[in-house]
Amino acid sequence: RRVQIRVNADKAEKVAINIINSNGVLISTQEAHTQVGDNNIAINKVDALPGGVYYIEVVSSTRSLRTKVMKLN
């Protein structure tokens, strides 16, 4: 399975995508390049994670967005 997120970017730039567990521990990080407007970004290595609550954080040069997700087994 693959997880995708949609990010609306103000400018073309490199962003960091972080997966954080419910204890606040950084589980993985990856980089993506955005263009101005809506961007669909695939999140890698989600299948290897055990079931539970996670936060997906997108960090750009101007802002940080975080959303809560639940992975079911």
Pairing between strand 13-21 and 3-9? Answer: unpaired
pLDDT the model gives residue 8 = 93
Q: Residue 45's pLDDT is what?
A: 84
Answer for the pair 28, 19: CB distance below 8 angstroms, yes or no.
yes
Token match 């589980």: residue? Answer: 27
Is the pTM value of this prediction over 0.95? no
Q: What does the pLDDT read at residue 47?
A: 86
- pLDDT per residue, tens digit, the chain (73 aa), is 678 999 999 999 999 999 999 999 999 999 999 999 999 999 988 888 999 999 999 999 989 999 999 998 8
3-state helix, strand, coil in the chain (%, to 5): 0, 65, 35
pLDDT of residue 1: 66
